[in-house]
Amino acid sequence: MWRKNRRYIRPTCTGVDLNRNFDSRFGTVGVSSNCGSDIYPGERAFTEPETANMRELVYSLQGELVSYLSVHSYSQFLLVPWGNVEYVSRPTNSMELDRV
């Protein structure tokens, strides 16, 4: 149930919470500036090779990618779009997302 990657930052800090290292409302909600925290997002979006590589993969598949599934292993959640946006109605295909 380790939440972060294993990158060495300094002796008391290991890792960045990759779920929080993307460029979607980066560093605004549910994060800590303390690198020892489980919810440390890194210094800025896409600083980690794992998230930077995901960004490049999605860009390389632009026009071909239909969907992808993100498994939040720490809490064993399946994450769907719009999960981090407040006061926005669910997407028009939300029933299909729930079914899948």
Tokens, residue 53: 């590589």
Helix, strand, coil share (%) of the chain residues, nearest 5: 20, 10, 70
| pLDDT < 70 stretches in the chain | 73, 78-88
Residues 60, 56: Cα–Cα separation, whole Å: 6
Cut 0.75: pTM above it:
yes
Decide the pairing of beta strands 70-72 and 77-79: antiparallel
- What pLDDT, in 10s, does the model give residues 45-73? 999 999 999 999 999 999 998 877 777 76
Task: Find the DSSP H helices in the chain.
Answer: 49-60, 94-99
